[in-house]
Amino acid sequence: MKLYVKVWCPWCVEARKWLDSRGFKYELVDVEASRESYDTMIRISGQSKTPTLVLPDGAMLPDFGTDELEAFVAKHNLKP
C-alpha cells in the first residue's frame, strides 16, 4: 500500500504513527518532494489533501483521520 503525505501535516504524522504502531508496511510518498507524486495523488484520488492511503487493488482512503483509517483497515480486512 502507498501512503501519500505532506511530512509536516499533523494528520499524516498521526496516520504514520497509527500504521507503524500496528506493524503495517507501506510505501511512504512525500507529495511535496516530487511534483509528479503530488499530481499522481490528485489524479487517482480526485483531491489534493493528505494523507491519502491507496491499496494495491485501487481502494483508497483520501483525507482521513485515524478513526477513518481504523474503519478502512477493518472494512478491507487488512493485516500487518
- Quote the CA–CA distance of 50 and 35 in Å, as a whole number: 14
User: Closest Cα partner for 6 from 22, 17, 37, 23?
Assistant: 37
List the CATH code of the domain at 2-75: 3.40.30.10
For the chain, give every domain's residue range.
Answer: 2-75
Q: Are 63 and 51 in contact (CB under 8 A)?
A: yes
Predicted pLDDT of residue 47: 93
Predicted pLDDT of residue 27: 98
- Quote the CA–CA distance of 24 and 20 in Å, as a whole number: 6
Q: What is the pTM of this model?
A: 0.94
DSSP string, 4-38: EE-TT-HHHHHHHHHHHHTT---EEEETTT-HHHH
pLDDT tens digit at each of 80 positions of the chain: 999 999 999 999 999 999 999 999 999 999 999 999 999 999 999 999 999 999 999 999 999 999 999 999 999 999 99
